[in-house]
Amino acid sequence: MTALPNDRPFYLLHEDKIQANLARIQKVKSATNCTVLMALKAFSHYQVFHLLAETLDGCTASSLHEARLAHEYFPGRHHAYSPAYSPRDFPEWTNYCQTFVANSLQQVEFLQHLQIQNKLEVGLRINPLQPEANNPLYDPSSPQSRLGVITKHLKNQWPKGVNGLHLHNLCENDSHSLDRTIRALERDAQFALEACQWINLGGGHMISKHDYDVDHLIQLIKYLQKRYGLKVILEPGAAVVWEAGDLHAHVLDIVAQDEVATALLDVSITAHMPDCIEMPYTPQIREGRITSEGCRYRLGGNSCLAGDFVGDYHFDHGLFIGDEVVFLDMAHYTTVKTHFFNGVHHPSIYLRHTDESYTCLKTFDYTDYQSKL
Ligand SMILES: Cc1ncc(COP(=O)(O)O)c(C=O)c1O
């Protein structure tokens, strides 16, 4: 279709932005020959997997369903990492993924038992005890973290038959965070670096941000390849679809109480932008600013949750019923996390192609709400 239909509200994904992000990732791949996997937890629109697969080598799945989606729609080799695999999901997992990362030594044993029958490759996630994420909710490397084995507990012995080392301690970080992490590994886990064939440096590398030092990342990868003979794997999620989607909402009503004017939108913050409440953060919008002079509005969602609102924004002009408000950077960790709380109408999902035509990826109706329950 050449124009968006009058279908509101909707998410709009941008093919050109995805391609620009992939081009930055391709630069890293071309310079280092490293493997880059798509972390499906961040974004799993299988309808655009063909675009991602032009650059990325496969997926990393954190559940059986993600693994199956990768197998069905994404050509390549797929990895699995789950904090705890359930016996219920085996052997099906092994139809979809070739490499499994364990989160504990008990899980290594569990996977090695299966390995004999299925020729699986097994890795172990370690906790590098190198906190780099700004928000504790996204920091897996505290000493009490349930994610990954603390290397000193391995007593300088890397488990037999485990040929990969996995870590994930970054969240929207720069290359210097990775640099510090590699130094922490060399301090505490040199034996692991020497024992393994591959290292998976997890996600959280904000490669797509304009000020990310891609050349520094390339240097770090080359260092690990040369110094330890390691095959290097990255598994970014957010960086692949960074700033590659918006949520288009519309004003349904305006209510003013106690000097606060709230524009009630046809979307819900908790249902359609859950990270804004969970993280929490205040997203950028196309029309207004978060702080400045002008007409101030609180943007509220259409569920009955009292906290279903996001920030106060200033607009150059008053808002009116029917006005559009566009929330920016709503591709990563957004459409994968939405839900049907209150049965509120779920935004449709469109893709804008580079030739400015549109494809509808998904619309939602009563049956989606009803069939989930
Ligand atoms: C194990 C693992 N790998 C990769 C990722 C992807 O991280 P990001 O989307 O920040 O790049 C995550 C995110 O939580 C993760 O937990």
Domains of the chain: 15-240 (3.20.20.10), 243-372 (2.40.37.10)
Atom of ligand 1 nearest to the CA of 101: 1
Tell me how far CA of residue 85 lies from CA of 59, 63, 125, 169, 217, in angstroms: 18, 8, 13, 21, 32
* Collapsed DSSP state (helix, strand, coil) of residue 247: strand
Ligand 1 close to Cβ of residue 235 (< 6 A): yes
- Report how far Cα 10 is from the mean position of its chain's Cα atoms: 20
The percent of residues in the chain predicted with pLDDT above 90, rounded, is: 91
pTM: 0.96
d(CA 100, CA 93): 9
Ligand 1 close to Cβ of residue 78 (< 6 A): no
C-alpha atoms less than 13 angstroms from C-alpha of 131 in its C-beta half-sphere: 11
The amino acid at residue 371 is S
- Report how far Cα 298 is from the mean position of its chain's Cα atoms: 28
Q: How many residues does the chain have?
A: 373
Ligand 1 close to Cβ of residue 204 (< 6 A): yes
Ligand 1 close to Cβ of residue 239 (< 6 A): yes
Pairing between β-strand 198-200 and β-strand 231-234 as defined by DSSP bridges: parallel
Give distance in angstroms: CA of 41 to centre of ligand 1: 7
Q: What is the mean pLDDT of residues 44-53?
A: 98
User: Which tokens in the block code for residue 173?
Assistant: 């970080």
| DSSP state for residue 343 in the 8-state scheme | G
Q: What is the pLDDT of residue 114?
A: 83
Take atom 9 of ligand 1 and give the residue whose Cα is closest: 237
Confidence band, pLDDT 50/70/90 cuts, at residue 206: very high
| Tens digits of residue pLDDT in 100-158 | 999 999 999 999 988 766 688 999 999 999 999 988 899 999 999 999 999 999 999 99
